[in-house]
């Protein structure tokens, strides 16, 4: 038969547990992406000596497949004495890849801050650190939160790539279930539906956040 509801309900708990792994990977990966992205953005605003290599790295990571980067981290780091389990390597790769996208978003947000803010900070003799922390970032971040949110969703949708290094997230679990019972329809479709639902929910969430922020900074 085409669709076995019994089987589908049977595997739902298994998929639910795998979903937790997916969500963990998403949030940890995004944590890395959001923080590292900001670091990259700030570094690219510094002198050419620092900005140059960082820009090159960012371009390289952005222009090449995430899958390759996952393999690279998983297989290369051990050669430098750092052996990571699949989950950690995967999360790092996700974080690094999306840090490059986030750095672009941060860059746009920072460039939107009027020059006058920087100049006023200099005139008040604030240190670079204080300037960023108290003046620039609080103004730069709110407008770009929706864009960052979009990348959170995108990152979430790319977690199935971790199945390539056998991380037990949703896609890998579905494949294992499928290969055990030779029924792939239910596991993979359910995974698709789960992603779809979470994607639609987060789209609504992001729009809500966007509206909440616009209310706060209403001009």
Tokens of 81: 């004495």
Of the chain, the end-to-end C-alpha distance in Å amounts to 59
> Looking at beta carbons only, is 75 or 208 nearer to other proteins?
75
Measured between alpha carbons, how far is 151 from 143 in angstroms, rounded to an integer?
A: 14
Query: Nearest approach, Cβ of 190 to other proteins (angstroms)?
Result: 11
Of the candidates 24, 23, 33, which has an alpha carbon nearest to the alpha carbon of residue 62? 33
- Is residue 22 a contact partner of residue 201, using CB atoms and an 8 Å limit? no
Output DSSP code: residue 83: -
- Is residue 213 a contact partner of residue 142, using CB atoms and an 8 Å limit? yes
> Looking at beta carbons only, is 189 or 214 nearer to other proteins?
189
The residue ranges that bind other proteins (CB under 8 A) are 2, 60, 63-68, 71-72, 75-76, 79, 157-161, 163-164, 171, 174-175, 178, 183-185, 188-189, 191-192, 195-196, 199-200
> Looking at beta carbons only, is 9 or 200 nearer to other proteins?
200
Query: Nearest approach, Cβ of 129 to other proteins (angstroms)?
Result: 31
Tokens 């986030």 belong to 102
- Is residue 101 a contact partner of residue 63, using CB atoms and an 8 Å limit? no
Query: Nearest approach, Cβ of 11 to other proteins (angstroms)?
Result: 15
Residues 6+ apart with CB under 8 A from 59: none
> Looking at beta carbons only, is 121 or 158 nearer to other proteins?
158
Measured between alpha carbons, how far is 185 from 33 in angstroms, rounded to an integer?
A: 34
Query: Nearest approach, Cβ of 185 to other proteins (angstroms)?
Result: 5
> Looking at beta carbons only, is 4 or 24 nearer to other proteins?
4
Query: Nearest approach, Cβ of 64 to other proteins (angstroms)?
Result: 4
> Looking at beta carbons only, is 145 or 157 nearer to other proteins?
157
Query: Nearest approach, Cβ of 73 to other proteins (angstroms)?
Result: 10
């Amino acid at each position: 038969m085409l669709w076995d509801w019994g089987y589908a309900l049977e595997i739902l708990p298994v998929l639910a547990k795998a979903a937790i792994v997916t969500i963990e990977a998403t949030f940890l990966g995004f944590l890395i992406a959001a923080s590292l992205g900001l670091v990259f953005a700030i570094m690219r605003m510094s002198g050419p000596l620092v900005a140059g290599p960082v820009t090159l790295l960012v371009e390289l990571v952005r222009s090449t497949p995430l899958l390759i980067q996952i393999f690279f981290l998983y297989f290369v780091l051990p050669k430098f004495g750092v052996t990571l389990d699949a989950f950690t390597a995967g999360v790092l790769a996700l974080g690094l890849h999306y840090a490059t996208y986030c750095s672009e978003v941060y860059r746009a947000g920072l460039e939107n801050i009027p020059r006058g803010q920087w100049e006023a900070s200099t005139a008040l003799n604030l240190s670079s650190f204080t300037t960023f922390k108290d003046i620039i970032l609080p103004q730069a971040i709110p407008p770009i939160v929706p864009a960052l949110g979009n990348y959170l969703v995108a990152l979430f949708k790319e977690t199935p790539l971790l199945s390539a290094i056998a991380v037990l997230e949703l896609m890998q679990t579905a494949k294992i279930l499928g290969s055990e019972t030779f029924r792939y329809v239910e596991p993979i479709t359910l995974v698709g539906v789960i992603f779809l639902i979470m994607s639609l929910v987060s789209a609504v969430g992001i729009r809500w956040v966007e509206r909440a922020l616009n209310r706060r900074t209403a001009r």
